Amino acid sequence: MTTIKLHNSLTRQKEVFEPIDPKNVRMYVCGPTVYDRAHIGNARPVVVFDVLNRLLREVYGPEHVTYVRNFTDVDDKINATAQARKEAGAEGSLEELIAERTEETIAWYLGDMGALGAMEPDQMPRATQYIAQMIAMNEGLIEKGHAYAAEGHVLFAVDSWKEHYGKLSGRSVDDMIAGARVEVAPYKRNPMDFVLWKPSSAEQPGWDSPWGRGRPGWHIECSAMSYELLGASFDIHGGGNDLMFPHHENEIAQSCCAHPEGSFAKYWLHNEMLQVEGKKMSKSLGNFFTVHDLLEQGVPGEVIRFVFLSTHYGKPMDWTAKKAAEAEATLRKWRTLTAGVEPASNVPAPVVAAVADDLNTAGAIAELHKLASAGAAQDLLAGAEFLGLLTDALGDWAKGVDLSAYEALLANARDTAMASKDFGEVDRLKAAFVAAGVEVRMSKAGVELLPAAGFDAAKLEGLL
């Protein structure tokens, strides 16, 4: 069996992955808060953990893997978005507008992530489906002395877990208090205590609880959902490194205190953040865009996925127009090479080995380049599909390009030029093809034209 090695954020070491039960491999990844479209940075963990999901299924069998990614559908940002719609004149109660926004955003998210070739997880729980379990977990934490109720809130008592709190992020409680921006509230015993339950106003979404009508804090949601779907102990918990503190740190504290019989997650994986053209993505810099924006601009989802996979998940990723153009050119060549070919029955071992080595997708792509250079179309296709590339579902953007008539045009022009020694027409045609995003290959064997990055068939009009 393939040996998988993963960098465990908890131990800060690359470790051999040994599942708790090889017949029941379990992974939980924090999903989106569904108040708006996913920006390109939100998509990086989706692609990273999609690759890990594919690897686990390849090694252990799809029937032995459970992948859970949640939707946070109760949140103040969702409420604010719905409130803005109501103030703009939208019909319906605030609760109805919240539900409408949630459904709309989840559909957007699944559509956009599907366009990137991401398989849907086995379970996609919504926080609002597990309110009763969250209330029960809060009650248990209070009974065990790890939480307390105050002024309609329930708060986790960090002091009750002080010797363990901070291990994931590598900071002590005292350091966190000194360096963190924490919510100061008179009902808190310790500034670091965090909210498990908070009161709701009459208009805000809320559920009856022993502490009054209210709604859950963010952190308790993932703890309750992961416990219900994966148990007190499971194998992998993942997400962006921006979630390491406080979200994941708080999840560990809640879960381990609520269910001391378990160990919560055995391996923690965090992907690094995304930049755009070397700068942090932000609306103020004008470089903030969603996955939908890119798709609408004509950037194929497969190209976005390729760019993501070209950088190791543990390193900051820089999205650039140049990388997208290079990815498009590579994918066009590979799709041409594998057209009409059946994939090999097994994924090439070097490709699997690269991904098994802490999700080294850049190394796996390097192996695909070797296969392409060797003309090993069947192995190339099998390896690419393992990474979620060159699939039929993602191939519409590259289909239906027949440049044979233009190849004949250029070949005739070259033959004429060879006789007349006047290559002006050949140069004109070559320049027109390049401007249309066509790669021109000329040799003694003949003329070959290949769609490349930025291919635009409209720019070829009038040449024939």
* 83 vs 156, residue with greater confidence: 156
Query: What is the distance between the alpha carbons of residues 357 and 352, in angstroms, rounded to a whole number?
Result: 9
- What is the mean predicted confidence (pLDDT) over 17-30? 98
Segment 22-31 mean pLDDT: 98
Write down the pLDDT at residue 69.
98
Which ranges of 127-270 does DSSP label H, i.e. alpha helix?
A: 131-143, 173-179, 218-230, 249-258
Q: What is the pLDDT of residues 202-260, one digit of tens each?
A: 888 899 999 999 999 999 999 999 999 999 999 999 999 999 999 999 999 999 999 99
8 Å CB contact between 243 and 219 = no
At 133-174, the pLDDT tens digits run 999 999 999 999 999 999 999 999 999 998 899 999 898 777
Q: In terms of Cα–Cα distance, which of 228, 297, 240 is closest to 269?
A: 240
* Average pLDDT value over all residues in the chain: 93
What number of helices (H) and strands (E) belong to the chain?
15, 15
The predicted model gives 432-456 an average pLDDT of 87
Distance from C-alpha of 118 to C-alpha of 105, rounded to nearest angstrom: 17
Q: Are 118 and 45 in contact (CB under 8 A)?
A: no
Question: Which one is predicted more confidently, 260 or 285?
Answer: 260
- Give the residue from 425, 426, 463, 433 showing the smallest Cα distance to 451: 433
Task: Report how far apart, in Å, the C-alpha atoms of 252 and of each of 233, 245, 246, 261, 396 are.
Answer: 11, 11, 10, 13, 43
What value does the mean pLDDT take over residues 328-351?
95
Beta-strand relationship, 214-216 and 274-276: unpaired
Q: What is the pLDDT of residue 80?
A: 86
pLDDT in tens, 98-140: 888 899 999 999 999 999 999 999 999 999 999 999 999 999 9
Pick the closest to residue 342 from 392, 304, 270 (CA basis): 392
Q: Which H or E run includes 447?
A: strand 446-451
Checking if the pLDDT of 179 tops 60, the result is no
Percent of the chain residues past pLDDT 70, beyond the cut: 98
460 vs 173: which has the higher pLDDT = 460
5 and 16 in contact (C-beta within 8 Å)? yes
Span of 52-61, 206-215, 442-451 with lowest mean pLDDT: 442-451
Contacts of 458 (CB under 8 A, 6+ apart): none
Token look-up 């993963």 returns: 6
Q: Identify which has the larger pLDDT, 450 or 181.
A: 450
Q: At what angle do helices 40-60 and 301-309 cross, to 10 degrees?
A: 70
Q: What digits encode the pLDDT tens for the residues 36-51?
A: 999 999 999 999 999 9
Angle at CA of residue 15, ends 259 and 251, nearest 5°: 30
Q: What per-residue confidence (pLDDT) applies to 399?
A: 78
Burial of 53 (0-12, 13-18, 19+ CB in 10 A): buried
- What DSSP line would sit under 371-440, residue for residue? HHHTT-HHHHHHHHHHTT-S-GGG-GGG-----HHHHHHHHHHHHHHHHH---HHHHHHHHHHHHTTEEE
Residue identified by tokens 């991401």 is 118
Q: What are 438's strand-pairing partners?
A: 451
Confidence of residue 400 (pLDDT cuts 50, 70, 90): low
Q: Which residue type sits at 228?
A: E
pLDDT for 412 beyond 80? yes
Residues 235, 27 contacting (CB under 8 angstroms): yes
Which residue reads 């250079």 in tokens? 373
Separation of alpha carbons 166 and 416, rounded Å = 75
The predicted pLDDT at position 178 comes to: 60
Tokens 């027409």, residue located: 425
